[in-house]
A and B are shown apart, each in its own frame.
Chain A
Amino acid sequence: MTKDMIMSRDWPLWEVFIRSKGGLSHKHVGSVHASDGELAVRHARELYTRRMEGVSLWVVKSSEIIASDPSQSGPLFEPAESKVYRHPTFYDIPDVVKHI
């Protein structure tokens, strides 16, 4: 391999989000490598919207994303499970009572 065969370094990774149509939120679709944000948007346009998949693109540097720890998902989400009274079905209301 000649010297220029060796990749200098990978460009940073960007996560790509697409709004598929007005009124909907952006949704994660994948990632692209690019040297800067503008080029990341262009790469995302070519890679993820060749078939009218969306009306708007977001890119975010992958390294900027802070995620919860999957191995801790039990304790993290447990309070949601034990507080069933946050759901409307928790409450007993007689059937004769309407519009509630």
Chain B
Amino acid sequence: MYTTELKDRGASTADATLFAEDHALVAQFEARVAADEFIEPKDWMPEAYRKTLVRQISQHAHSEIVGMLPEGNWLTRAPSLRRKAVLLAKVQDEAGHGLYLYCAAETLGTSREEMIAALHAGKAKYSTIFNYPTLTWADIGAIGWLVDGAAIMNQVPLQRTSYGPYARAMVRICKEESFHQRQGYEIMLALANGTPEQRAMAQDALNRWWWPSLMMFGPPDAESPNSAQSFRWRIKRDSNDELRQKFVDITVPQAEFLGLSVPDPDLRWNEEKKGYDFGKVDWDEFYAVVRGEGPVAKERMKARRDAWSEGAWVREAADAYETKRQARRAA
């Protein structure tokens, strides 16, 4: 799963801090990044680079963690033991991806505690896609196919991002992610070849997940003010609109194979650009969800906080055990 970097609209990067920093160090840093070198935790880096990365990586981590919830909703109701085992493995992978990313963010000097607290306080952002509900089993198929498909497209270029720990986390994540998309498409295939009711369920899921999936690539390039700096720093490697176009071009034929129709009346092949023209994404909806007005945003945060509180006794027991053991060793 993935989040594109979300900022409150209008917020600007703390570029000013650059001027307060040592020009020689900044120049050296920029040269290393431009030469495709990797930056490692103990290397000097501009404060704005550190801040941008902490925000991007922690949002990405939160998205993986919150991303478990829509799918977790169907764990106990998977239609067969095989589907259930697969979904469990996928959801566990998402937890793993969240942890790889928290580790990467921690190397920048932000504690796990701070990041989790920010998420639970509602101060941190995560991908808007997870604030939509999973109403039927077909949604699990659509999420794997479309949401993980969009995530892979976003994440593959990040394997070559300039910050070493982030790039290494992305390599692991990408390796594990491809099964996620294939299992989703397989669910869609089964439904599309099933009874009329199952077909309708698959079409309904595509109808509801198509546009939110396109939003996963983030606002249009014209509205992504920080892109230039992020490109220079190799924190971002392809533009939002380029990736969105690529996703549409790859996904439409997959929908056609399923015999399902993409819910966009303006969608048509453009022979000249060798790609699809498609309708306008409802960005007002996107920004509303970013502001926390998604259909199930409150429910998601409540589930996270409840899980945290209900697991407190486990964390306390582990702490108590270690304290006791240390005391015994000291005696």
Q: Which residues of A contact B (CB under 8 A)?
A: 1-2, 4-11, 13, 30-36, 39, 46-47, 50-51, 67, 69-71
Contact = CB atoms under 8 A, between A and B. Distances in A.
B315 A8 contact: yes
Given A5-B308, A7-B113, A8-B319, 6 more contacts: A1-B117, A5-B117, A8-B315, A11-B319, A36-B325, A71-B44
Contacts, number: 66
A6 B100 CA distance: 22
Contacts of B93: 50
Contacts of A46: 92, 96
Main DSSP-derived SS at the B contact region: helix
B100 A30 contact: yes
A4 B319 contact: no
Determine the main DSSP class of A at the interface with B: loop
A33 B321 contact: no
Given A8-B319, A35-B318, A35-B321, A1 B120 contact: yes
Contact of A7 (B96, B117, B168): B117
26 contacts: A5-B117, A6-B117, A7-B117, A8-B319, A9-B113, A10-B112, A10-B113, A11-B318, A11-B319, A13-B106, A30-B168, A30-B169, A32-B99, A32-B103, A33-B112, A35-B315, A35-B318, A35-B319, A35-B321, A36-B321, A46-B96, A50-B89, A50-B93, A50-B176, A69-B42, A71-B44
B322 interface: yes
A2 B306 CA distance: 11
B111 interface: yes
Contacts of A1: 117, 120-121
Contacts of A70: 40, 42-43
